[in-house]
Amino acid sequence: MTFWSLLIAALTGHFALHLTIYNRLNATGLRRSTIKRIEKFFVFTCIAIPIYLFLRMSSLVVEGESLEPLAHVELGYAIACVSTIAVLGIPWLAARPIVGIGTVAAKREVTVHHVQNEIDVPLALTAKGRWYSRIPGNQIFDVAVERIELPVVGLPKDLDGLRISHLSDLHFTGDMSREYIRYVATQSNLWLPDVCVITGDIIDSPACIDWLGDVLAPVECTFEKFFILGNHDTRVDDPDLIRKAMTAAGWTDAGGQCLQRIIRQTPLEVIGNEWPWFDAPQLDRAQGRASQGKAATFRMLLSHSPDRFSWARKHSVSLMLAGHTHGGQGRLPIIGPVLSPSWHGSRFASGDFFRSPTTMHVTRGLGGVHLLRLRCRPELSLLTLRCI
């Protein structure tokens, strides 16, 4: 029993350790080819080490021997994996969505649209897309339109009720028809937002750049449309081609910038942070703070990744909007998301969070290279900001 208990604990820690590495690896700014090579190595070790340990330890059980024949490195790795359960497991459990630590209680009205049933043309254009769309339980074409009353600490009274349509992770790969995002854009327009934002990962295939004017130019709002790029946009040899196409479609490039705007007679800074894939903006930390009786400047940050949460707090950002994590792509009952390309793991995979002075909304996004979503529908976030 000691052998098998140790083996089960070691394997649990082993997989937890590899999951931690995977999530953090995909949060880096390394080149995609480098990330894929490292991933292949860890996929190999993730599979090979358990097989080796199982065969090694089970042979000792059969022969009735103790653990002494195990090499120090084998036993040391097993102990390290067991320790990993306590070191990583407790914070991981505390960060589960059901616990609700650090989250914002925002009112939600969710309407699910089975887009393929509402559109006459096939949404899956390729064999890959058709194959994935037939997987039972796959929600890739089931868009959740989420109308969210988001309380924001420090929101100026004149901005109470401001409506923001938040799109992210469109992932134009060519596997899914542009009609899918066109449908989402129509849902956004019906809501009549004041501001529209896209927080990165727009293009995966250069051939889809020509879609942008056709699909995203018709997106409407009463004030202005802002966008930034994400890590998948670097798959285009010249990401500036995306920026030019988006600008031509009527969107304002906020990437790496701090844009000064006036909305409802209220000064607003719209900041775009695409780090670590592109340059981060240079800001005066003190400018967003109240001083000598002067009201603080309201700062809204568009960040592709929720990993810029600490940066937002340091720079007195009141509202941060992010994507990138796709809600984990799949969510287990009660436990919630497991996979998430973030330095925080699945802590900020999706939802609403607050750490003074920043309120952060992370959307599950609309598309993906991996055309599989389980218990994790694509999301169009329609945010109504509310004073607290």
Q: Which class would CATH give 107-387?
A: alpha beta
Q: Give the model's pLDDT for residue 70.
A: 56
Predicted confidence at residue 5, as pLDDT, reads: 78
Residue 3, pLDDT score: 62
Q: Quick one: pLDDT at residue 89? A: 87
Give the model's pLDDT for residue 365: 98
The percent of residues above 70 in pLDDT, for the chain, comes to 92
Q: Which residues have C-beta within 8 Å of that of residue 146, sequence separation ≥ 6?
A: 108, 109, 110, 379, 380, 381, 382
Average pLDDT, the chain: 91
Q: What is the pLDDT of residue 345?
A: 94
Q: What pLDDT digit, counting tens, does each position of 242-284 carry?
A: 999 999 999 999 999 999 999 999 999 999 999 999 999 988 7
Residue 192, Ramachandran bin (φ over 0: left; ψ between -120 and 50: alpha; else beta) = left
Residue 213 has pLDDT above 80, yes or no: yes
Instruction: Please say if the pLDDT value at position 14 is more than 70.
Output: yes
Other CB atoms within a 10 A radius of the CB of residue 209 amount to 18
Residue 78's pLDDT band (cuts 50, 70, 90) = confident
The share of the chain scoring above pLDDT 90, in percent, equals 78
What is the predicted pLDDT for the residue at 290?
53
The ranges of the chain annotated as CATH 3.60.21.10 are: 107-387
Lowest mean pLDDT among 61-75, 235-249, 275-289, 343-357: 61-75
Q: Which of 14-28, 61-75, 237-251 has the highest mean pLDDT?
A: 237-251
Task: Examine the pLDDT at 302 and tell me if it is beyond 90.
Answer: yes
Tokens 């329609």 sit at which residue?
A: 382
What pLDDT score does 293 carry?
Answer: 47
Question: Between helices 32-63 and 2-25, what is the axis angle to 10°?
Answer: 180
Q: In the predicted model, is pLDDT for residue 56 greater than 80?
A: no
Output the pLDDT for position 62: 56
Return d(Cα 69, Cα 56) in angstroms, integer. Answer: 10
- Overall average pLDDT of the 75-82 stretch: 82
**Is the Cβ–Cβ distance between 323 and 200 less than 8 Å?**
yes
